[in-house]
A and B are shown apart, each in its own frame.
Chain A
Amino acid sequence: KQEVTQIPAALSVPEGENLVLNCSFTDSAIYNLQWFRQDPGKGLTSLLLIQSSQREQTSGRLNASLDKSSGRSTLYIAASQPGDSATYLCAVKSNAGNMLTFGGGTRLMVKP
């Protein structure tokens, strides 16, 4: 059974810092991995999707990497802003089935 863990569970940084969020998964037989953002009481917004054959994806100040063999992904946020404050979730789609398995999320607060 796939298990996804995100560390840290919460993070508070001053504005302008570069930061890294971590995601690990137990079964390396994945189809793809997605990073989502969730604002309080809201749904999820997809940030980046990495296929299993890819090593990284970039969108603006966000960069996500994938090391399938070690079961790890990182989300790098450059020059953080208060508007980045949210919960960040990673989710893995395994080769078998159509479900996403989510981590518990990292709650990020960027202080002005």
Chain B
Amino acid sequence: DTGVSQDPRHKITKRGQNVTFRCDPISEHNRLYWYRQTLGQGPEFLTYFQNEAQLEKSRLLSDRFSAERPKGSFSTLEIQRTEQGDSAMYLCASSPRVAGNTIYFGEGSWLTVV
């Protein structure tokens, strides 16, 4: 059990560019979540996968955001045409098959849009 892994840890990009973040959950965790956190705030839910199915999406997830989990293992979060307001930490989390169990978070991917 190596924990939830996220890559890259830091990304600086120019406004208008596309960025992609990767998340590797704890092995055998079938539930995967993406959250966004800005400075001084608690995390906000973006989307939820159960295996490869994306079952929930927040209204925060605009058309410029897309998330995938093609084989039910790792997941990617892509942001197209980045804006300065997208600057935040993007957190991935996973939890085991049994509902209501503890959720484990990764270290996050910091995005700065300049």
Which applies to chain A's interface (DSSP): helix, strand, loop or mixed? strand
Shortest CB distance B105–A (Å): 4
Cβ-defined partner of A45 (8 Å) among B42, B50, B105: B105
Interface residues of B (CB under 8 A from A): 4, 31, 33, 35, 40-45, 48, 50, 55-56, 58, 91, 93, 99-108, 110
User: For residue A43, which residues in chain B have a CB less than 8 angstroms away from its CB?
Assistant: 4, 91, 105-108
Q: Which of A36, A51, A98, A102 contacts B48 (CB 8 A)?
A: A98
Q: Tell me which residues from 27 to 56 in chain A have a Cβ below 8 Å from any Cβ of chain B.
A: 31-32, 34, 36, 41-46, 49, 51
Contact: B103 with A99, CB < 8 Å?
A: no
Kindly provide the distance from the CB of B26 to the nearest chain A CB, expressed in whole angstroms. Answer: 12
A46 and B104 contacting across the interface, CB-CB below 8 Å: yes
**Shortest beta-carbon distance from B74 to chain A in Å:** 17
Residues of A within 8 A of B (CB): 4, 6, 31-32, 34, 36, 41-46, 49, 51, 89, 91, 93, 97-105
B100 and A31: CB pair below 8 A?
A: yes
Cβ of A73 to closest chain B Cβ, rounded Å: 14
Complex contacts, A4 vs chain B, CB 8 Å: 42
A41 to chain B, nearest CB (A): 8
Option from A49, A97, A104 in Cβ contact (under 8 Å) with B42 = A104
Contact among A6, A49, A101 for B102, CB-based, below 8 A:
A49
In the assembled complex, 15 residue pairs joining A and B whose CB atoms fall closer than 8 Å, in A order, are A36-B105, A42-B108, A43-B106, A44-B43, A44-B105, A49-B101, A91-B42, A93-B100, A98-B50, A98-B99, A99-B48, A99-B56, A100-B103, A104-B40, A104-B42
Contact A97 B107 (CB under 8 A): no
